[in-house]
Amino acid sequence: MALNGLQIQKLLPKTNCKECGANTCLAFAMKLAAKKANISECPYASDETIAVLGAENEPPVKQLKIGGEISTLIGGETVLYRHEKTYVNDTLLAINIDDDSEYEDTLHKIVDYKLERVGEILTLNAVAITQKSGDTEKFVELAQKAWDITKLPLIIRADNTDAIAQVAQVVSNTGSIIAGVNKDNADALLKVAQEHGMILAIASENLDDITALTKSLKAGGFNNMVMQFETDSLATAFQLNSIARIAAIKDNIKELGYATLKYINTGNEIEDTVMAINEIEKFGGICVLPKFDAAQLVNLMTLRLNIYTDPQKPIQMEPKVYAIGEPDRNSMVFVTTNFSLTYFIVSGEIENSGISAWLVVPECEGFSVLTAWSAGKFSGSHIAKFIKEVDLETMVDTRTISIPGYVAQISGELEEALPGWKVSVAPQEAADLESYIKAFNRK
């Protein structure tokens, strides 16, 4: 049972020193109860208090770092639904490679793949390797090549524990994962994981089997685990992911408080994509795709970005004047808000029109155009003040600025606040900017 603020306050030193940033120990206790602070911020907390509250403040789903030189966090989740607070760590996407395939080209595609969305560069997070040949030497060679080329953590899958042990030596202490751990091989693979700093994926299609093994390993002092649900059924995958997450967060069942690992290979590209979507939307920790497919990755990564964006914190661009293309002193000047999606849509349409231009982006707290205007963050006086602060008049000779059509009503205020400037009202929809620009340049 989670402690409330008053219960936590009884464990604190009650000095009201304010060194933690809160005015009183009670205020700090309330922040701890809401998981908006950490007990390490209290300089006078006793070791006993740190032990109790440190464990209390651990997220229901254990957070793990995957990887070495290139690392990513999984787990660390505290809510079932993103609107309750936010999701913390993205679902990792990995590509599976069999050791009996021609794999070097795929490895280079994995490391070279980069997708830019709203100012973020999205990449693949891991490489899964599977032994199919039965040849341990070939499997070890694949592991070495995968690590040398990508420097990404490996997800190692083989029926032969000796082959896994040899691969572990090659990629020791790289934060890699050993998949397919069950009651029959757990003892042998535990020794490998402990020796080489690896994570164990506890595998079964049965929640009871996974719970029993995670409980046993944790009791023995090993806690670097993920859960691998072995099912090809979309309905069962949805159900298992949901039951495990609800059990961890609502019922505080520690044995199921781990991120998940899911191999996808239905034999059908569309069904593979649907299964991957389910993992991203329904609490998946690591999703292993059966092959490299750039078209599939665009959709999955865009979906993942949308879901794992903090709903309480809009993605924002740095307030400044952006050069679109190679503008000169006579190029057109546009203005929009610093909400990333708005910025990239507007800048993209300007680029598509074939011109270079200046795009003025004032501070609007990450709001869209209408939201920023209604909040008083995108008024004529606000925009004029920003233009003066960045000294735009020394950068350009033109004295016409185009504003979004949705806020045409601020044109008079903006002209009044910027003597010598003329305001032109652009279309409401960014998709109409190209025709607007052509008409503007014909004048």
Rounded-to-integer distance, Cα 84 and Cα 383, Å: 34
Q: What is the mean pLDDT of the chain?
A: 92
* Beta pairing partners, 403: 425
For 131-155, the pLDDT digits (tens) are 999 999 999 999 999 999 999 999 9
Place of tokens 């008024």: 379
The model's pTM: 0.77
What pLDDT, on a 0 to 100 scale, did the predictor assign at position 55? 64
Rounded-to-integer distance, Cα 353 and Cα 324, Å: 11
Sequence-ordered alpha helix ranges (H) in 250-293? 269-281
Q: Where are the beta strands (DSSP E) in 136-283?
A: 154-157, 177-181, 199-204, 225-229, 260-263
Nearest Cα residue to 333 out of 424, 429, 435, 405: 424
Inform me whether the pLDDT recorded for 33 exceeds 90: no
For 347-391, the pLDDT digits (tens) are 999 999 999 999 999 999 889 999 999 999 999 999 999 999 999
For 324-334, the pLDDT digits (tens) are 999 999 999 99
Rounded-to-integer distance, Cα 86 and Cα 79, Å: 7
Nearest Cα residue to 95 out of 263, 237, 258, 283: 263
What pLDDT, on a 0 to 100 scale, did the predictor assign at position 57? 66
CA 398 to chain centre: 41
- Report in angstroms the alpha-carbon separations of 394 from 175, 327, 330: 52, 14, 12
Stretch 77-105: mean pLDDT: 92
Domain spanning 5-56: which superfamily? Electron transport complex subunit B, putative Fe-S cluster (1.10.15.40)
Domain boundaries, the chain: 5-56, 64-307, 320-442
Inform me whether the pLDDT recorded for 316 exceeds 90: no
Rounded-to-integer distance, Cα 305 and Cα 30, Å: 32
Rounded-to-integer distance, Cα 198 and Cα 170, Å: 12
What pLDDT, on a 0 to 100 scale, did the predictor assign at position 443? 66
For 189-203, the pLDDT digits (tens) are 999 999 999 999 999
What pLDDT, on a 0 to 100 scale, did the predictor assign at position 41? 84
What pLDDT, on a 0 to 100 scale, did the predictor assign at position 371? 93
- The alpha carbons of the chain give a radius of gyration, in whole angstroms, of 27
CA 132 to chain centre: 32
Fold classification of 320-442 is Rossmann fold (3.40.50)
**DSSP, res 90:** P
For 245-281, the pLDDT digits (tens) are 999 999 989 999 999 999 999 999 999 999 999 999 9
Inform me whether the pLDDT recorded for 52 exceeds 80: no
CATH code that applies to domain 64-307: 3.20.20.20
